[in-house]
Amino acid sequence: MKCPKCQAENFETRKFCKECGAKIIMACPHCGFENLPADKFCGECGNKLTKPGGPAPTAYPKPESYTPKYLAEKILTSRSALEGERKQVTVMFADLKGSMS
């Protein structure tokens, strides 16, 4: 976990920064309760805590936005070839009690 004051990397279990001595807390964005850095949920309201400096959720664009039009048309016109051949089969299973004794 990074220190909010000096950006030094600290272990999740530390309450104070090893470099500058600043208090490392996880304030709940919902109620402001001070939680330990290793907590995943707020001890006061139960709200999910997010790690500061952690990766932000990525919004992936739709495939239509980055697929070239000619390639999309080629895929859609040859869809049956891409799906493969389908066949109808019949499966019969029989088990006779005592047939193997």
pLDDT for position 90:
93
Token pair belonging to 44: 């006061």
Asked if residue 20 is part of any domain, the answer here is yes
Range of the domain at 44: 1-52
CA angle 90, 91, 93 (to 5 degrees): 150
Asked if residue 66 is part of any domain, the answer here is no
Token pair belonging to 90: 């019949």
pLDDT per residue as tens digits for the range 69-96: 888 888 888 877 777 777 899 998 887 7
Asked if residue 13 is part of any domain, the answer here is yes
Q: What's the domain count of the chain?
A: 1
- Round to whole Å and give the CA distance between 93 and 16: 68
User: What is the distance of C-alpha 71 from the center of its chain?
Assistant: 30
